Amino acid sequence: MSTVATRNSSLQSRAGGVPSSQRKPYKCSKCERAFNTLAKLERHGRRAHAGERRHSCSGCQQSFADPAELSTHQRHAHGIHRPHKCPLCAKTFALLSSLRVHKRTHVGGQSFLPGSSLQPQQSKIPRGRDYKCLTCGKDFSKPYHLRRHQEVHLTALTHKCPDCGKCFRAKTHLYLHRLVHGTKHKCDRCNKMRFLFKLRAAGECRLLTVNSRNSSSAAEAVSTLAFVPASAPLDTTELEDLQDFVSRSKRLFVITGAGVSTESGIPDYRSEGVGLYARTERRPIQHTDFLKSAKARQRYWARNFVGWPQFSSHHPNRAHVALSNWERLGKLHWLVTQNVDALHSKAGHQRVTELHGCAHRVVCLGCGALTARSELQHRFTSLNPCWSQEAGGVAPDGDVFLTDEQVQHFRVPGCEGCGAVLKPDVTFFGDTVDRDKVRHVHERLAEADALLVAGSSLQVYSGYRFLLAAHEKKLPIAIVNIGLTRAEHMAWVRLGARCGEVLPCILPLSQ
């Protein structure tokens, strides 16, 4: 009952049951107005009864004792002090919050009534072009495009075409233009008519010779596209951006991932529909399982023995060959690959770090001796002479499914020197990359002036760490990968296409 009485008393007080003299005990001695706090009474005295009104309006003859009253008067009576202007309709507002509320009435240049549905109209909002050239007023959606455009106002037309006399600001643009003056030849792969370079200088002929020498091997390298995820058609504007990006770099640092090798018939893990995670429920072996479980090692080596001939037979594709050409021509300063397939080495790379190791080598966990994986294959064969006939079929990527009955009879040799456990010289899931190797890569990155990511989603931190370091150094970054990556916000240039489709189109030239 006491609770109900208290609640009723409170309601009566709010409804006016308490006398006004009790609700507003502070009374003005000059005008009989009453206030519920002393601060309000003092403010009333300053505004209404102060003898001096020092704050005068510049637009009329009125004066005010309080500057806040003057500001309110000027906004409502004269419309001044409205610094916040709407960029769509030029309407001005005194408060930034009022401008924000007003801008919601504009969607794609059209107005809507407050409370109406926004969903159908929001899809019409154009992408922002927030980067504006101060010289000519042209605006751009990416800072890289603005920087490239600003050179138009600073660079002279110094590169002249010897065939037609047309001049260009960049040597790269001249090279691309001279394709127009070349002779069309029929491509033996796609039957389309293509322009070949009509080159004269010795250095240019060297470039043509290198590209021509590898064109046939590159065509033979693409074994299958079965493991390549779907992608949008190649955007020529984005391709030009990447060409400009590569041409500006003199010491290019490249990071490659599984997306580079998918065109060689080796699937990646995460691609939708075609990756290993999408095609099978089997997962890569964990580092701790390999070390602790003899059965896990037996199963791993049995599958590896059956699938090795298929896996080791893969060849470099057009992307590997293109990057190898860049290295030979001095464009590529260093390459770091997250792959263990040795395809970069097969393509002829010398300046390369295999971040996660190489499946073509085997290391002894006891003495640390390294041996070739091909030699271990001979030892497997001698210890298991009839076992391969019992095993099941091999998938195109070298993977194989084995039953427990098949695995239990497989014999695994130890190190020939000390008899200890043998392990592929790769970084298994759950293991860490060697610190000396990471330090070496950071040193090479410190010498570079730009970074290109090819075929990697950068989901694994071992490779993503170098993007963070490059971004902190403010190095230009370009990404060629089908699907989103962890470094989208860092990219100056972004292409969502196949590496084997993009990289051979880029000429390793310098401006």
Give the separation between CA 20 and CA 193, rounded to whole angstroms. 95
Whether 178 has a binding-site annotation, put simply, is: no
Whether 211 has a binding-site annotation, put simply, is: no
| 198 in Cβ contact with 183 (< 8 Å) | yes
Whether 339 has a binding-site annotation, put simply, is: yes
Give the separation between CA 322 and CA 256, rounded to whole angstroms. 13
Whole-angstrom Cα Rg for the chain: 36
Whether 261 has a binding-site annotation, put simply, is: yes
Q: For 249, which DSSP code?
A: -
Whether 267 has a binding-site annotation, put simply, is: yes
89 token code pair: 């309709």
Q: Which string of DSSP letters, residue by residue, matches 281-328?
A: S--PPBHHHHHH-HHHHHHHHHHHHHHHHHHHT----HHHHHHHHHHH
Whether 304 has a binding-site annotation, put simply, is: no
Whether 131 has a binding-site annotation, put simply, is: no
Amino acid at 203: G
| 327 in Cβ contact with 510 (< 8 Å) | no
Residues 6+ apart with CB under 8 A from 26: 34, 35, 36, 37, 38, 40, 41
Three-state SS annotation for 10-41:
HHHHHHCCCCHHHHCCEECCCCCCEECCHHHH
Whether 86 has a binding-site annotation, put simply, is: no
Residues 6+ apart with CB under 8 A from 152: 169
Whether 496 has a binding-site annotation, put simply, is: no
Amino acid at 195: F
Choose, from 320, 333, 356, 360, the residue flagged as catalytic.
Answer: 356
Whether 453 has a binding-site annotation, put simply, is: no
For residue 424, list its beta bridge partners: 362
Whether 80 has a binding-site annotation, put simply, is: no
Whether 270 has a binding-site annotation, put simply, is: yes
Which whole-number Å values give the CA distances from 459 to 89, 231, 271, 482, in the listed order? Answer: 45, 19, 12, 13
Whether 415 has a binding-site annotation, put simply, is: yes
Whether 141 has a binding-site annotation, put simply, is: no
Whether 10 has a binding-site annotation, put simply, is: no
Whether 133 has a binding-site annotation, put simply, is: no
Whether 417 has a binding-site annotation, put simply, is: no
Whether 341 has a binding-site annotation, put simply, is: yes
E-assigned strands of 2-156? 26-27, 34-35, 55-56, 63-64, 84-85, 92-93, 106-107, 110-111, 131-132, 139-140
Give the separation between CA 69 and CA 49, rounded to whole angstroms. 14
Whether 272 has a binding-site annotation, put simply, is: yes
Whether 456 has a binding-site annotation, put simply, is: yes
356 as an active site residue: the answer is: yes
Whether 257 has a binding-site annotation, put simply, is: yes
Report which of 102, 75, 76 is spatially closest to residue 89, judged by C-alpha positions. Answer: 102
Binding-site residues for NAD(+), in ranges, read 257-277, 338-341, 455-457, 481-483, 499
Binding-site residues for Zn(2+), in ranges, read 364, 367, 415, 418
Residues designated catalytic: 356
Binding-site residues, in ranges, read 257-277, 338-341, 364, 367, 415, 418, 455-457, 481-483, 499
